């Protein structure tokens, strides 16, 4: 009799574990910064108040990013509603083998950091203001501008809505819609590469093995830097083996690409981030063949 009770309890635990796994969902989140604008070339701050299109070089960069990402079947595309980001996203999608004609979501929460009175002025103007205030240029907030915490709050709002949408759309469809990969799913592969002294593979689909749902976000340099900081520092996102923090948090180049693998689970209070892994940040391999890649 005791043996039967133990067996039943064991089976119940297995069922609970299985049920929890079925309520978990993994997807990729790929960030791309917009292509170069004339303001970028002249080192002028744009923020939110200066809304310009891409330069000729910026169009070439966006085309190169689109070619690089062309075989990734993005299921959702979220874009800042500023023109430079929208144009970049349109070019990327036009080059994509799976997403040509896909409708993208214009999201104000993804807009660049507001730089207030410094918008339209040279970066040296902001640097001089920061020096006068005794602060670093990154941490300084010009009059009328957004603080880093305010930018982070916007990103957190975007993530919260994204997480809910992901679980609502994919877990509600049943177990088949949920990816079987976890955010740490490629750890063994990465460890093996280090052990054998084999250089890690560097391709557009890095980190996507076993992941079925892919989200693309096209945004801005300062915004993406804050987003990466939040994912790594606040949400304890695991970094690639041997990654240097200086590189992880370095400024993102025009059309620089960063990728994270996120695993969500359901709870009574809503979606919970169960695991997060950074695959790479600020990648610019696709710009190598351009005459002027920066």
Count how many residues are written for the chain. Answer: 294
Alpha carbons within 13 angstroms on the beta-carbon side of residue 219 total: 29
Taking the chain (294 residues) in consecutive chunks of 10 residues, what is each chunk's mean pLDDT?
Answer: 50 53 84 98 97 98 98 97 98 93 94 97 95 92 97 98 94 52 44 36 90 97 98 96 91 97 92 96 94 46
Distance, CA of 77 to CA of 106 (rounded, Å): 9
Catalytic residue of the set 107, 112, 119, 146:
112
pLDDT digits over 135-153, tens only?
Answer: 999 899 999 999 999 999 9
Count, in order, helices (H) and strands (E) of the chain: 9, 6
Query: 120: closest CA among 43, 15, 9?
Result: 43
pLDDT of residue 289: 86
pLDDT digits over 231-287, tens only?
Answer: 999 999 999 999 999 889 999 999 999 999 999 998 888 899 999 999 999 999 999
**Has 112 been annotated as catalytic?**
yes
Sheet containing 257-267, strands listed edge to edge, beginning at the edge strand earlier in sequence = 105-106, 76-79, 214-219, 24-33, 257-267, 270-283
pLDDT of residue 187: 37
pLDDT of residue 15: 54
> Mapping DSSP to helix (H, G, I), strand (E, B) and coil, where does residue 231 land?
helix
**Has 34 been annotated as catalytic?**
yes
Residues belonging to the binding site for substrate are: 33-40, 84, 123
Distance, CA of 242 to CA of 197 (rounded, Å): 13
Burial zone of 26 (CB within 10 Å; 0-12 exposed, 13-18 middle, 19+ buried): buried
Whether the Cβ atoms of residue 213 and residue 75 lie closer than 8 Å to each other = yes
* Secondary structure letter of residue 122 according to DSSP: B
Catalytic residue of the set 34, 170, 214, 230:
34
């Amino acid at each position: 009799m005791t043996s039967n009770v133990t067996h039943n309890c064991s089976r119940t635990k297995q069922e609970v574990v299985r049920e929890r796994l079925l309520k978990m969902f993994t997807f990729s989140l790929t960030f791309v910064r917009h292509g170069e604008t004339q303001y970028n070339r002249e080192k002028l701050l744009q923020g939110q108040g200066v809304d310009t299109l891409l330069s000729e070089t910026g169009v070439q960069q966006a085309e190169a990013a689109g070619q690089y990402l062309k075989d990734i079947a993005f299921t959702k595309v979220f874009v800042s509603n500023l023109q430079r980001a929208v144009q970049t996203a349109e070019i990327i999608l036009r080059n994509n083998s799976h997403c040509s004609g896909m409708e993208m979501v214009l999201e104000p929460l993804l807009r660049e950091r507001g730089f207030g009175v410094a918008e339209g002025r040279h970066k040296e103007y902001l640097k001089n203001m920061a020096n006068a205030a005794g602060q670093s240029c990154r941490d300084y907030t010009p009059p009328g501008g957004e603080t880093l915490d305010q930018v982070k709050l916007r990103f957190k709002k975007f993530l919260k809505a994204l997480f809910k949408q992901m679980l609502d759309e994919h877990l509600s469809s049943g177990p088949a819609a949920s990816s079987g990969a976890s955010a740490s799913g490629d750890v063994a592969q990465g460890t093996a590469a280090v052990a054998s002294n084999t250089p890690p593979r560097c391709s557009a689909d890095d980190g996507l093995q076993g992941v079925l749902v892919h989200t693309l976000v096209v945004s801005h340099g300062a915004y993406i830097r804050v987003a990466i900081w939040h994912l790594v520092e606040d949400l304890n996102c695991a970094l690639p083996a041997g990654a240097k923090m200086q590189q992880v948090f370095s400024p993102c180049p025009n059309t620089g690409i960063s990728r994270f693998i996120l695993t969500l689970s359901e709870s009574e209070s809503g979606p919970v981030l169960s695991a997060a892994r950074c695959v790479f940040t600020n990648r610019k391999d696709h710009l190598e063949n351009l005459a002027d890649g920066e």
